[in-house]
Structure 1
Amino acid sequence: MKTDLEYLKGLMNVFLESSQPFIEISDLKNAGFDITTPQGLHHYSILIEKEYVSAFNLSRGNPEKLGYSYSLSSIDSVDYALVRLTAEGIEFAQMLQEPSIYEKLKGLSQSPLNVMKDVGSDLLKAFLKKKLDL
Structure 2
Amino acid sequence: MMKFIGEAMNETMKRNFSECPPFFTPFGDTHKCISLFTPIKVSWFEARMFCESMTGNLAILDDINTYIQLLKYIEEKVCNCVNSKINKQCEDNERKLMPRFTGDAETCLSILEENFYYFSDEWCTVKLSPLCMTNKI
TM-score, normalised to structure 1, is: 0.30
The structure with higher relative contact order (CA 8 Å, sep 6+) is 2
Structure number with higher helix proportion = 1
TM-score, normalised to structure 2, is: 0.30
Larger Rg belongs to: 1
